[in-house]
Amino acid sequence: MKAPDLTVSTERPPPALSVSSFVSSFDRFAVTPMLVVIAADLGVSLSASVTAASGYYLAYGLSQPLWGLLSDRFGRVRVMRAALLGAALAGLVSALMPVLGALVAARIVAGACFGAVIPTGLTYVGDTVRASVRQRALTDLMAAASLGTALATGVGGVIAGLLHWRVAFLVPAACALACAVALRSLPEPPRAAGARGMGRYLGAVLGHGWALLVFGLAFVEGAILLGVMPFLATALEHAGFAAAVAGLAITAYGLGLWALSKVVKRLVGRWSPPVLMTVGGAQLCAGFAIVTVHVSLPTVAVTALLLGGGWSFLHSSLQTWATSVVPQARGTTIAFFASALFVGSAVASWAGGPLADHGRYGLLFGLAAGAAVPLTVVAALARRRYGALSAAAPQPQPE
């Protein structure tokens, strides 16, 4: 079935969408520099406190298929507003929880609710921006999210060190409530005609071989980058640095993502997607290789900067691919893409917890650097093949 032409001439996402993405990223990354502080305050081990992050990521990922199906069925804006209201409540509850188990439960709910925001926002851009300039709009949305990441890793550590880690959960909760109100003015794009049952959306996506490959790549990328990156802060704290200092060092990730996403925006159309993916994957590998050799403030800051660049080049290319592979069920496709990404991150953070507990950061970062190589090779070659087949097809894919 062919999706209707919903695109417009704009190359930028709506401001309310960008702010919501900013808040979602802030909430997701604020916990990174606070894990050691939370463990000490609640009297648990570091590997136990990591479950507050891995549980969040797991819920964030596993909730994606549901959000995608609901957005295809009921609308993008409606789903985002409902999810932001739930995230605001879960954030408030997170700040009040007295024991780790209750905190983890609250963070799981927060992750599930915030999980709707960025993927549905990406889908909204896919619905409303024409394919030729879509990656530019997506990089703008990613830049907004990266600013949230940068502030979260820096401000989260400062708040935990100077005030209390619970305060860091209240800030995004209040902002989520404000975003839910602001999104009322965002117009709802019309949805694709033809596939009215959610089961048909699901079948269209899960029966598409290229979509399944993109999901697999997202899983590995999430495991390597999002699953291992939080341990950069704990590695510094194990080396004797305060949570605020460790968080400020990781801020380089968000700053690198923001700056290099601007570079990617200029390169779209000049460099092919496989080339962009290769450059991004090389940055991931180089970044983790540096901290495999030595962990210090300078090496962690450089690594965080390179990881931001890797995300800008590799991830933006993967998510642009995901917006086009099954256009008649775009919301469901993006949802499964994000699900794979964050389930991968949850698995990796859970598996890396015991290594971090024993201070074996060299092994942890070395495994991430090594895994980045096959990810990059497979992603670039597969995207090149997909492009060649699409160009040779009798009829172009609907956009």
Residue found by looking up tokens 């923001």 in the block: 258
Q: Based on C-alpha coordinates, what's the Rg of the chain? A: 20
> d(Cα 108, Cα 155) in Å, to the nearest integer?
22
Sign of the dihedral defined by the CA atoms of residues 370, 337, 179, 174, in that order: negative
Structure tokens at 126: 């896919």
Q: Given phi > 0 = left and psi -120 to 50 = alpha, else beta, which region is 60?
A: alpha
- Confidence (pTM): 0.71
pLDDT digits (tens, 9 = 90+) for 51-97: 888 888 788 878 877 887 788 788 889 999 999 999 999 999 988 88
Domain boundaries, the chain: 10-187, 198-389
Q: What is the mean pLDDT of the chain?
A: 83
Whether pLDDT at 395 is above 60? no
More confident residue, 76 or 375: 375
pLDDT of 385: 92
Instruction: Report the candidate in 82, 175, 169, 74 with the shortest Cα–Cα distance to residue 123.
Output: 74
pLDDT of 3: 41
DSSP 8-state code for residue 296: S
Determine the distance from the C-alpha atom of residue 120 to the mean position of all C-alpha atoms in its chain, rounded to a whole number: 12
- Is residue 170 helix, strand or coil? helix
| 372 contacts 248 by C-beta, under 8 angstroms | no
Same fold, 10-187 and 198-389: yes
Share of the chain above pLDDT 90, in %: 28
pLDDT of 390: 77
C-alpha angle 392/393/395, rounded to 5°?
Answer: 135
pLDDT of 396: 43
pLDDT digits (tens, 9 = 90+) for 239-258: 888 766 777 777 777 777 77
Whether pLDDT at 218 is above 80? yes
pLDDT digits (tens, 9 = 90+) for 136-149: 777 778 778 777 87
Q: Hey, what amino acid is at 106? A: A
Domain 10-187 belongs in CATH node 3.30.1370.10: no
Per-residue pLDDT band for 330 (boundaries 50, 70, 90) equals: confident
* Domain covering 198-389, topology: Growth Hormone; Chain: A; (1.20.1250)
* β partners of residue 271: 268
